[in-house]
Amino acid sequence: VVCAGTKQLVGFGFAPWQAVAQVLEPPEHGSPTDAGWQWRALPGASVGRSNGKGCILSDGRFAVFGGKDNCLTPHSSCEVLTLDGDGPRWDALSPMHEARAAFACEAMGGCVIVAGGGGSGSARLRTVE
């Protein structure tokens, strides 16, 4: 299980969002109980986002798409989390054609499909990419 998103740093006046990510890891092989599941912090993505979506790609990596920044502006950026021997890292993917937040997202057939959501201003999107 991977959780990625933002947390708002609470303070006076403007409170920026901070990108955060965590992975829920199973207990070591042979553990007598499931109580050994642990959350481990990962590096945050390059963009703090809310109302974005994520999915597991066909190669096993976790990707996040779109969402809103701390000014509530939808964006089109996409990033992928790689967990390998070089350590966890976020890499940029090609951006979506349209900035969007609160949309549907699904990985299937080696592709990722995103549909609908909210665009700039209060525009509701009917597009699929």
In a domain, 58, yes or no: yes
**Structural domain tally of the chain?**
1
- The span from the CA of 35 to the CA of 25, in Å, is 11
Phi-psi region of 91 (alpha: psi -120 to 50; beta: other; left: phi over 0): beta
Q: Could you tell me the CATH number of the domain that includes residue 6? A: 2.120.10.80
The pTM of this model reads 0.79
Look at residue 128 and tell me if it is in a domain.
Answer: no
Flag whether pLDDT at 6 surpasses 60: no
With a cut of 80, say whether residue 76 has pLDDT above it.
Answer: yes
Q: Which domain holds residue 37?
A: 2-115
Query: Domain for residue 34, yes or no?
Result: yes
Q: Quick: pLDDT tens for 11-47.
A: 555 556 677 788 888 887 766 666 778 888 888 888 8
In a domain, 127, yes or no: no
Question: Hunting for tokens 């779109």 — which residue is that?
Answer: 66
Amino acid at 107: A
In a domain, 108, yes or no: yes
